[in-house]
Amino acid sequence: MIFEEMMKDEREAGRREGRQEGKQETQQNTAFNMHQKGYTNEAIAEVLEVDVKTVLEWISESKSSAK
């Protein structure tokens, strides 16, 4: 019984982590697309509710992986 509960908790934790990763990937893609359309980093950060530093990192990563 305890083992089954532990496994259930682990699965739920994995699902939460996967959803969070998916959300971040979506935000990163959105940031890059907005950047390509000429939005300022500050505007992107405001829309995505993250700090400008995060936006700059995402854009840099997206440019690196696009090569």
Q: Using pLDDT thresholds of 50, 70 and 90, give the confidence band for residue 20.
A: confident
Q: Where are the beta strands (DSSP E) in the chain?
A: none
pLDDT averaged over every residue in the chain: 92
Burial of 32 (0-12, 13-18, 19+ CB in 10 A): buried
| Domain boundary assignment for the chain | 30-67
pLDDT of residue 24: 92
C-alpha count within 13 angstroms, C-beta hemisphere, residue 35: 20
Which residues touch 56 (CB under 8 Å, ≥6 apart)?
41
**Which pTM value belongs to this model?**
0.75
